[in-house]
Amino acid sequence: MEVILLVLLVAAVVIVFFVIGVFNSLKTLQILVKEGWSGIDVQLKKRFDLIPNLVESVKGYASHEKELFSKVAELRSGMMNVGNDPEKLGQLEGELRGTLKTLFAVAEAYPELKANENFLRLQSSIQEIENELESARRYYNGAVRDLNSKIVVFPNNFVASMFGIKEGKFFEIMNAAERENVKVQF
């Protein structure tokens, strides 16, 4: 009887330590997902801070493009109010990226603007931030992948459901046009 009780006690201790270990590793992965989302937030904030300066630089040269400027402002404010919704943010972010491309295309039509040092600096800064934003999205998606992979395997899925730990959402491009190959014509 004592041996059975001892075996049950040891089994219970092993199970408790296993559950604690899985729980801690899942919580650590959740923190990495939050850190990844924070990295995206930081880069978006940098871009949000630069966009008004860029728009103002172009406005002086292309005053007839009011619709484009209001679209940039609308998307910028929409993205600031999204919160922690990767799907909605991905959709708005794709639209903003496309609108910024249009803004740069408008700038191409004004040689004196293209030569403006302030505009060139802003354009370079936005490009740098876009590259950092791409890295932040990759980091976030990697952290989400690691968390989701850990949650779906047996027996971790029982521990995750026991403590209400949910899978993360990937940051994805919502604009289907951005997934298509670029057509280059000479």
The pLDDT of residue 68 is: 65
Between 122 and 183, the more confident residue is: 122
Going from N- to C-terminal start, the domains of the chain cover: 2-170
DSSP secondary structure of the chain: -HHHHHHHHHHHHHHHHHHHHHHHHHHHHHHHHHHHHHHHHHHHHHHHHHHHHHHHHHHTT-TT-HHHHHHHHHHHHHHHT--S-HHHHHHHHHHHHHHHHHHHHHHHT-HHHHT-HHHHHHHHHHHHHHHHHHHHHHHHHHHHHHHHHHHHSTTHHHHHHHTT--PPPP-----GGGGSPPP---
Q: Which pLDDT belongs to residue 66?
A: 62
| pLDDT at 183 (0 to 100) | 45
Least confident of 45-49, 110-114, 119-123, 150-154: 110-114
User: Which class does domain 2-170 fall in?
Assistant: mainly alpha
Q: Is the pLDDT of residue 144 over 50?
A: yes
pLDDT in tens, 36-86: 988 888 888 887 777 777 777 666 655 555 666 677 777 767 777 777 677
pLDDT beyond 70 at 150: yes
Give percent of the chain with pLDDT exceeding 90.
Answer: 23
User: pTM of the predicted model, to two decimals?
Assistant: 0.64
Say what the pLDDT of residue 146 is: 93
Q: What pLDDT was estimated at residue 26? A: 93
Average pLDDT, the chain: 78
